[in-house]
Amino acid sequence: MAETRHFDIAIIGAGIAGSALAAALSNQNLAIALVEARPLALPDLPAARDLQNFDPRVSAITPRSKLLLEKLGAWEAIAGYRQCPYAHMTVWDAEGTGAIEFDCADVNAPALGYIVENRAIVNALLARVADCSDVVAFDGAQLQECSHVDDGAGIRVRLEDGTTLAADLLVAADGAVSRVREMMAFPTREWDYGHRAIVTTVQVEHWHRDTCWQRFLTTGPLAFLPLPGEGNSHYCSIVWSLQEELVDDMLALDKEAFCGALEHAFEARLGRVLDCAPRFAFPLRQRHAIDYVQPGIALVGDAAHTIHPLAGQGINLGLQDVGALAEEVLAGCARGLNPGQMAVLRRYQRRRKGENLLMMAAMDGFKALFEQQALPVRWLRNAGMRGVGRIGPLKQQLIRHAMGVG
Ligand SMILES: Cc1cc2nc3c(=O)[nH]c(=O)nc-3n(C[C@H](O)[C@H](O)[C@H](O)COP(=O)(O)OP(=O)(O)OC[C@H]3O[C@@H](n4cnc5c(N)ncnc54)[C@H](O)[C@@H]3O)c2cc1C
């Protein structure tokens, strides 16, 4: 039988949350295992800016998350590759005349946020840990089983290839359909939005003006997110959240018809939609683990919570989980505590759960408000949008909250 390797911390999943946690805990005299189902070899990111060479998955990174990525030493590589700061946000609805504009000048900030390709974030974080001898990567390795060690001191993990690990703390950073969460029986509240999100990259006729655009249609919100262009070629990343029954038909359209449908749904605000990259669809579910921790285990990122992408907050909340968990683990170790002790983990949960729930409730409220078709709600919605647009302090507070600094 293969020998069990012991680590202080085993992180399952090297998406953005897991890679960020490995970077945050590296060089701290902790032995860390980073387990990832995919190969972790860093691919050369394509330099060409055209439809074939943007990652279809992008994230709107808030200034607060950017600060954390800077602290982890990853932002320089991200920015050195490419990202698109956005200075404005325009939100409007399909039914009335309600519209609201946000501008970084309203809060004296250089940008409201940054659109970054997900693979650029993961690459930059993994590059930070690639040379750290205290982080051992087990890649191409699916988690098969995990359990509490009999005497209650730590967690045992078995990988599909038979490797066995033991750790004082097991961190589930294995995404929305977390196997750790399921195997360790963390109860969750979840419901289906009845929507899937179509994501793709499009080329548009006119420059996006460094603006995130979002239109609320009766069938779901549609976002055009700005990407860095090349000369007179202008690109946006699309997140089109649509009622489930409409998605397959939209995916089946040929490119020209899809571009036409998108242009129409977007009221051609950036002129013609000239071309699009392959389309992918993601089911949208709201999930929230009732507890993020149990002895020896912590959930972070999408393993703890998933949220509708309409406000681009999912990984921003996940990165704040990572920052808080890393701080509590390091503070606990400095006090001589084991990182898997509840005294350490409860502090993490206390710091994160309330904030995550608040954001999830706010996003659901926003979504519900925009989906209501009743006339009085539509009137209130439009009046409310105009009101918010005029009331300086309220608008500033909304902007700061979305930037993660409110
Ligand atoms: C359409 C769409 C648009 C979005 N836009 C934004 C946005 O603009 N801004 C924002 O903040 N958020 C956004 N989000 C949310 C964001 O993408 C997620 O919150 C984020 O990707 C979650 O990161 P994570 O590291 O927690 O999980 P994941 O990215 O899911 O990573 C989990 C990792 O674990 C690995 N793994 C899984 N199971 C196992 C296993 N059994 N063994 C080993 N490894 C395993 C996976 O291979 C993967 O690498 C969006 C989401 C969607 C669907």
Please give the DSSP secondary-structure letter assigned to residue 301: G
The reply to whether 385 falls in a domain is no
Query: What's the pLDDT score for residue 240?
Result: 97
Cβ(404)–Cβ(62) under 8 Å? yes
pLDDT, tens only, 224-253: 999 999 889 999 999 999 999 999 999 999
What spacing in Å lies between the alpha carbon of 401 and ligand 1's midpoint?
22
The reply to whether 19 falls in a domain is yes
Query: What's the pLDDT score for residue 311?
Result: 75
What spacing in Å lies between the alpha carbon of 129 and ligand 1's midpoint?
19
- Compute the distance between CA of residue 323 and CA of residue 319 in angstroms, rounded to an integer: 6
Q: Is the CB of 221 under 6 A from ligand 1?
A: no
The reply to whether 396 falls in a domain is no
The reply to whether 388 falls in a domain is no
The reply to whether 389 falls in a domain is no
The reply to whether 375 falls in a domain is no
CATH number of the domain bearing residue 117:
3.50.50.60
Phi, psi of 59, rounded to the nearest 5 degrees: -130, 145
What spacing in Å lies between the alpha carbon of 308 and ligand 1's midpoint?
13
Query: What's the pLDDT score for residue 398?
Result: 66
- In what helix (H) or strand (E) does residue 286 lie, and over which residues does it extend? strand 280-289
- Compute the distance between CA of residue 87 and CA of residue 185 in angstroms, rounded to an integer: 43
How many domains are contained in the chain?
1
Most informative mutation of 86, 170, 302, 322 for ligand 1 (most atoms within 8 A of CB)? 302
Q: Is the CB of 173 under 6 A from ligand 1?
A: yes
Most informative mutation of 174, 241, 307, 359 for ligand 1 (most atoms within 8 A of CB)? 174
Q: Is the CB of 34 under 6 A from ligand 1?
A: no
Q: Is the CB of 312 under 6 A from ligand 1?
A: yes
Lowest-confidence segment of 152-156, 168-172, 186-190, 262-266 by average pLDDT:
152-156
Q: What is the pTM of this model?
A: 0.93
The reply to whether 191 falls in a domain is yes
Q: Is the CB of 167 under 6 A from ligand 1?
A: no
The reply to whether 223 falls in a domain is yes
Residue 403, exposed/middle/buried by CB under 10 A (0-12, 13-18, 19+)? Answer: buried
Q: Is the CB of 14 under 6 A from ligand 1?
A: yes
Residue nearest to atom 39 of ligand 1 (CA): 174
- Compute the distance between CA of residue 329 and CA of residue 191 in angstroms, rounded to an integer: 32
Cβ(238)–Cβ(246) under 8 Å? no
pLDDT, tens only, 17-62: 999 999 999 999 999 999 999 999 888 899 999 999 999 999 999 9
For 21, the domain range is 4-42+49-366
